[in-house]
Amino acid sequence: MKDFIGRVKRFSKHLTDDIETLVKNHNTEKVHIQELLPLIIGHEETKISTQDLLGNVYNTYQLDLFPYYLHLETKGKDNTFILQMTLSSQDKEIFSFKSYDETTRSHKLIPVPQPLLESLKLHQEKKILH
């Protein structure tokens, strides 16, 4: 049994390393953060949570497109203010924007892996055609 567990651990470690290598080797495209909003919000696989707290509307969007994960938090009924956006892959952060953090406020263009961006745009195009 120990041997089997050891083999499973080695396999999962190698799989994680292979996926990490794939993600690192992909080209990235610099995209304006506002350009990603409709792609994330409008995706059919996006999980949406909305809270109304003291008259303020807060939205959370989570999109898992293996191996990429997008987390977006906005304020306002029309998502008028981005509170936070995180792009990660296999628990490794690729990009993070937090409106309260002075160091990330200057980020207008963010690096998005080419396969993820293509997938998001393709989904948007399919949605427009239907």
Domain coverage including residue 99: 27-129
Does the residue 4 lie in any domain?
no
| CA pseudo-torsion sign 117, 70, 109, 80 | positive
Q: Which has more confidence, 49 or 9?
A: 49
Region of 7 please: left (phi>0), alpha (psi -120 to 50) or beta: alpha
Does the residue 18 lie in any domain?
no
Q: 């109304």: which residue's tokens?
A: 52
Provide the number of structural domains found in the chain.
Answer: 1
Does the residue 11 lie in any domain?
no
Q: Is the pTM of this model over 0.85?
A: no
Specify the range with the lowest mean pLDDT, choosing from 94-98, 100-104, 115-119: 100-104
Q: 23-35: per-residue pLDDT in tens?
A: 455 678 889 888 9
Mean of the per-residue pLDDT values of the chain? 82
| Phi and psi at residue 45, to the nearest 5° | -95, 0
Q: 59-100: per-residue pLDDT in tens?
A: 999 999 989 999 999 999 999 899 999 999 887 888 888 888
Does the residue 98 lie in any domain?
yes
pLDDT (0 to 100) of residue 57: 96
Percent over 90 (pLDDT), the chain: 38
